Structure 1
C-alpha cells in the first residue's frame, strides 16, 4: 500500500483528535477514558521538535492516520531511545499501511540519532502486537493488570527494536 507522511502542523491537531477520539470511545488501544483536548494532544504529540517528529499519514491523497516518534523518558540518559506510535482510521487498517509507516519511522529515527524504539501496546491489542512483531520488534516487558477500561482489567506490553 502506498502512503505518504507529511509533517504535522499546528492546524492538524483537530484531525489527530478525531482519529484518537475514536480509539478512546471504542477501543482499549488507549487508556484515556474521556475525549482528549487539543491542549492535551499538544503535550503528547510533538510539533516542530528536531528529534521527536509527528506526521499525518496519507493514502491516495486522503488522511488515513497519524504517527509520531516521541520521548521515551524525560532524562538525557534516555536520548538514544524513543517511543513509536501509529494510529490509523479504522477503515485504513489491515491494508499494510502501518507496516510501511513503522519502517519509515525507523529510518527517520535513525537519521536523528535514535537507536532504540519502544512500542507500548495494550495486551489485548493483538493487531498492534502482530504488526510490531512482523516489523522485528521483540517483547521486552509485560505489565499485568495495570489498566482498567470498559470494566475490563488490562495488561500493557512493551515491544522494542534496536535500530542503530
Structure 2
C-alpha cells in the first residue's frame, strides 16, 4: 500500500470534519459529543506552523484519514513536547496506516527539534493504546473517570515517547 501525506489546507477542512464527525457520533475516541464547526476545527489544526503540522493521509490515492501534532500546553517551555493525533476513516484501521502515520509524525517532530511526543487516548480505545505501545510509547499517566460519553464513564491515558 502506497501512503502519501499532504499538508492540510483550510480548503481541506470539510474532508477532515467528515472524518472527525464520524468519531464524534460513533466512538469514544473524542470527547466531543456534538459536531464541531469548521471554525472550531481550524483551532485544532495548524497550517504552516514552524513546529506543529497537520496532514491528510492517502492510501493508494484514497483519503484514509488525517494526522497532526499540536501543543501539549501553550507555554513556551513546553515547545520541546507535542501531542500527536491520528484519525483514520472507518474501514482503514488494521492496515498499518496508523503505525506508518505515527512514525511519519515522529520524524517531522524530530526535524523540528521536538523531543517528546504524547498520545492522549480514551482508556477504552484499545486499538490506539495497542498502536502506541507497539511504536515504543509507554503509559505515563492515567486520569480516572474524567469523561462521560454514551452513558459510559471513561478514563484518559497518556502515552509518551522520547524521540
**Fold shared, TM-score > 0.5 on shorter chain:** yes
- The superposition leaves residues 33-60 of structure 1 with CA deviations (integer Å, 9 ceiling, x where unpaired) of 1001101111111112111100000001
Shift of 1:11: 0.3
Distance in 1 separating the partners of 2:92 and 2:83? 22
Q: Give the Cα separation in 1 of the matches to 2:87 and 2:2.
A: 16
Counterparts in 2 of 1:94-109, with a 5 A limit? 94-109=94-109
Q: CA deviation at 1:90?
A: 1.2
CA distance in 2, matches of 1:72, 1:57: 22
CA distance in structure 2 between the partners assigned to 1:94 and 1:143 by the alignment: 27
Residue aligning to 1:68: 68
Residue in structure 1 matched with residue 136 of structure 2 by the alignment: 136
1:77 alignment partner in structure 2 = 77
Q: Which residue of the partner structure matches residue 44 of structure 1?
A: 44
Post-superposition CA distance 1:92-143 (Å, at most 9, x none): 1110011001001100000001000000000000000000000000000000
Match of 2:12 in 1: 12
Where does the alignment leave 5 or more consecutive residues of structure 2 unmatched? Answer: none
**Alignment partner of 1:74: what SS?**
coil
Tell me the equivalent position of 2:117: 117
**Cα contact 1:2–1:97 (8 A) shared by 2:** no
Q: Secondary structure of the residue that 1:23 maps to in structure 2?
A: helix
RMSD: 0.6
TM-score, structure 2 as length reference: 0.99
Secondary structure (helix, strand or coil) at the match of 1:106 reads helix
TM-score (norm 1): 0.98
